[in-house]
Structure 1
């Protein structure tokens, strides 16, 4: 890995090797040390505390991370009580059947089956710690994110025939009950539960390097901490909170805030060493805010709008790699181009810059965003005819969608749009090949009339004849500032799928080191669907917490 660091990323140094734990003056000791206090870290801490371990949980900021900024959707199935209340008899087998298609063997079948079998219990476990869920479904059950009052929905491709699997589809997106983005609600409950359980927080503490012995066992972590209550610490907290709050509106300004945050750490943070007698768990998120890592592993996604939090700078990944851990699927990035809502959008067709159709428009946003970025250079058009555009505008105005769904949709249809009285005129104004565009529309129209096959497997309900001009081409490209194309990283450290222990180059566990959440390779590391990341935070966090708390304490030399 390049040693060059992003100016706003927390730096990671090579491990500090000591003869044994007694040869270093530790500032703090614990059984299990959790690095990163988002959902995965909180779940790891809660599980370790429940098993009797003394837990310290550290965070570069004040906790929350990307989890607190998320929609708070937990992908859960197999027969949760909320599915049953909504009239769905889901099963772990049906959940596995669907997820097997989406995960593409990124984890073993045994692990995926265990994830599905544990799903009902893991959601109930969240509820036992105060997180509320319910069964009200939005009209149609399909949306990119349900509005307030609706808390159960089809959050992936379950309703798309080519993706749904051989068993009956079921809604598995459980949105945490509360007003606004549910991630803040979910995280508030997890944070309170950690404190009630006796986990000790260490805040505004950036993990700088691991501490190891000559055999490579991880003994602890050296942090650089801002003095609690100091002016630099207070300013650091204000700037970081502002960067998170305004990211959706002014990403450039927020990048400048992150540089100031990093400068405060450079100028005022002091070293603090924490010994972990049983194990260290890395749970700091992905690396979407580390431009150098993106350029190295996923350069096609550098232009995307960044979905995540400032702490998603790859520090967990880099810490693990510093002592021999292996990253995997680091090139996998989830790019979100949702065409729902407005609901009618998916009845149009998406074409590339030459006018060729390349996808099924009714698929989940990441399933569409992947080929758009990987195969089409991030450039595409959504083609509508006059009646379909009019209907979609009415839906955006009066459909009761979130502002972040309706405003960009209206801007796209009213401002970033090209118009042509005919398909040939539309091709001329967009630079598309008129023959290619005409062929794409004619094939889709024939399928909508039942006169030919649907080229990309769109369901009968998603097809509509596009024949009434004028025709419109809405720019859904990555560089359209009015319609951001968000992205987050999916790859992470290879781990033992039974324990969450980080694996070295020979596939052997690194003693004393575990990873969870987006810092680890996991369930959502091939392709994202809504709720799968938080569900994996619970699954992998609890797994790592259980394994670390059960590990023998490191024997110190006399």
Structure 2
């Protein structure tokens, strides 16, 4: 029988993405001994992300770009997006502390820049690092609050999540935190008083750990784009993990769960969000709900597990915003300038996962002229695929017939849109005037936005729900609403700011916000008892 090793710490953090790194930094800043555990090499979904942090209220980056914003305007917009995910008091605290959050990240080495993107996009090119990352300027939202660009992208080429995480990881190690990679948390240990006091793990060392690291990195990316490859490689990872040795890490004060969501767990998706199966899992194989289940096993309650963000972006290129999104009935779905997750949710839940974007020849030419200047590589491939595979026709009836949608309803939607556009009246779906253009130049094209498994035009998805937590401390709550002693949660392992509705950067911002909160309060867990 293999002898179990032991370690001791004040705070143990499970997961080394943005939430876990921020929790570790704040706990360590108080002088606490902190150990971080990660099943892989760290980074998680954070390192695979676009590295966008949703922040506003007058950040240093916004001011450098000449952008005017206030916490009140940020709150007024987010209140519409967030709904009942968190209380008004918590959302106000998030907005009022947003500028300080960006400064805190910058102090820990995360690079930001105030180069403002001049066009609407789902993700800016390598020339721009501040942009409208949500629906701030969409019809219905701009009336509630002055719109401002709040997507703060970490400065780095491509998708810059890896830059953001690398900076945080370096700061964690500078702070003296011990990071144990290739270490899988298997069970939380509860003492006689019912307090979570340790984590039982399995850890790989030596050649097996090195092989595990390499295969895990390949499974994460390019495995992100080819989920079947990721699953094949993950089976090799699991075989290597059979060689792991047992390890117990004692937590004298608290354990923080920051192990991501459950988008890689098919069974949990079938149980909680069956309509969202078949998308591109936006995360790693470590986003299997294991952190959530660890919390449940010691009495933690969950909420919002049915909430999934599914992305159907129209832009870039920005010219496509002048098109009309229609469902299989031929009727218009809504304002095309809304954030892609709002469109994705409606397509999945209201239109049987099927939708098309109608454009005419003028829009098509404008879109092609913008491909090189407005896109990064993966956006360019997807836009070229959509334009190349579109159903086309010289009349609306002909193009509708090729796509298999109702031609009369499509013609009616176009007629109402064009009539308003010609007269200068408000768009019937509320689309802002700067994106409205008469569609009357054949041939017409219907770009297929339907949600289905495809490598060329996948539908990225991530889960938004998790363990219920006290909004002041991040402590996990049980089904009665009482705190689970010694246990905290953050990021996508917990219910948070973005658990109802996601816009780009809001999840990473919530990881920072909730991670810092959990890290600080985890150190205070036994303060009264110590006295």
TM-score by length of 2: 0.96
Asked whether the 8 Å contact 2:199–2:248 carries over to 1, the reply is: yes
1 CA distance for matches of 2:420 and 2:113?
A: 38
Could you say which residue in structure 1 is the equivalent of 2:383? 409
Structure 2: which 5+ runs fail to align? none
Could you say which residue in structure 2 is the equivalent of 1:10? none
Q: 1:286: how far off?
A: 0.7
Q: Deviations over 1:304-323 (max 9, x none)?
A: 11111221111111111111
Could you say which residue in structure 1 is the equivalent of 2:117? 138
Q: 1:203: how far off?
A: 1.2
Number of residues of Structure 1 aligned to a counterpart in Structure 2: 527
Query: Is residue 46 of structure 2 the alignment partner of residue 52 of structure 1?
Result: no
Query: Is residue 339 of structure 2 the alignment partner of residue 360 of structure 1?
Result: no
The one of 214, 234, 259 equivalent to 2:235 is 259
Could you say which residue in structure 2 is the equivalent of 1:124? 103
Asked whether the 8 Å contact 1:334–1:489 carries over to 2, the reply is: yes
Query: Is residue 272 of structure 2 the alignment partner of residue 286 of structure 1?
Result: no
Query: Is residue 292 of structure 2 the alignment partner of residue 321 of structure 1?
Result: no
Query: Is residue 397 of structure 2 the alignment partner of residue 424 of structure 1?
Result: yes
Asked whether the 8 Å contact 1:26–1:275 carries over to 2, the reply is: no
The one of 58, 68, 91 equivalent to 1:79 is 58
1 CA distance for matches of 2:62 and 2:83?
A: 26
Q: 1:214: how far off?
A: 3.8
Asked whether the 8 Å contact 1:447–1:463 carries over to 2, the reply is: no
Asked whether the 8 Å contact 1:101–1:165 carries over to 2, the reply is: no
Asked whether the 8 Å contact 2:124–2:374 carries over to 1, the reply is: no
The ranges of structure 1 where at least 4 consecutive aligned residues each deviate by more than 4 angstroms after the TM superposition are 553-556
Asked whether the 8 Å contact 1:32–1:279 carries over to 2, the reply is: yes
SS in 1 for 2:221: helix
2 CA distance for matches of 1:282 and 1:95?
A: 29
Query: Is residue 179 of structure 2 the alignment partner of residue 201 of structure 1?
Result: yes
Query: Is residue 419 of structure 2 the alignment partner of residue 443 of structure 1?
Result: no
Please show how residues 235-384 of structure 1 align to structure 2 within 5 Å.
Answer: 235-265=211-241, 267-384=242-359
SS in 1 for 2:392: strand
2 CA distance for matches of 1:355 and 1:119?
A: 42
Asked whether the 8 Å contact 1:135–1:152 carries over to 2, the reply is: yes
2 CA distance for matches of 1:354 and 1:160?
A: 24
1 CA distance for matches of 2:253 and 2:420?
A: 61
Q: Deviations over 1:192-221 (max 9, x none)?
A: 111110101111111111101244211111
2 CA distance for matches of 1:471 and 1:25?
A: 68
2 CA distance for matches of 1:148 and 1:427?
A: 37
The one of 479, 493, 502 equivalent to 1:528 is 502
2 CA distance for matches of 1:268 and 1:159?
A: 53
Q: Deviations over 1:212-235 (max 9, x none)?
A: 124421111111111x22x32222
1 CA distance for matches of 2:519 and 2:224?
A: 33
Q: Deviations over 1:490-537 (max 9, x none)?
A: 111110000000000000000000000111100111111111111111
Asked whether the 8 Å contact 2:5–2:246 carries over to 1, the reply is: no
Q: 1:465: how far off?
A: 1.3
SS in 2 for 1:469: coil
Asked whether the 8 Å contact 1:278–1:554 carries over to 2, the reply is: no
Q: 1:453: how far off?
A: 4.8
Asked whether the 8 Å contact 1:352–1:379 carries over to 2, the reply is: yes
Query: Is residue 66 of structure 2 the alignment partner of residue 93 of structure 1?
Result: no
2 CA distance for matches of 1:451 and 1:369?
A: 29
2 CA distance for matches of 1:46 and 1:441?
A: 54
2 CA distance for matches of 1:161 and 1:322?
A: 44
Q: 1:73: how far off?
A: 0.9
Q: Per the alignment, do residues 457 and 289 of structure 1 end up closer, same or farther by CA in structure 2, a change over 3 Å counting? A: same
Asked whether the 8 Å contact 1:417–1:472 carries over to 2, the reply is: yes
Asked whether the 8 Å contact 1:224–1:271 carries over to 2, the reply is: yes
Q: 1:189: how far off?
A: 0.9
The one of 505, 522, 526 equivalent to 1:552 is 526
Could you say which residue in structure 1 is the equivalent of 2:439? 466
Q: 1:451: how far off?
A: 6.5
1 CA distance for matches of 2:301 and 2:71?
A: 31
Asked whether the 8 Å contact 2:131–2:151 carries over to 1, the reply is: yes
1 CA distance for matches of 2:142 and 2:425?
A: 23
Could you say which residue in structure 1 is the equivalent of 2:18? 39
Structure 1: which 5+ runs fail to align? 1-23
* RMSD of aligned residue pairs (Cα, Å): 1.7
Q: 1:179: how far off?
A: 2.2
Query: Is residue 90 of structure 2 the alignment partner of residue 111 of structure 1?
Result: yes
Q: Per the alignment, do residues 234 and 26 of structure 1 end up closer, same or farther by CA in structure 2, a change over 3 Å counting? A: closer
Asked whether the 8 Å contact 1:286–1:489 carries over to 2, the reply is: yes
Q: Deviations over 1:36-60 (max 9, x none)?
A: 0111000000000001111000000
Could you say which residue in structure 1 is the equivalent of 2:460? 486
Q: Deviations over 1:357-393 (max 9, x none)?
A: 1121111111111101111121111111122112212
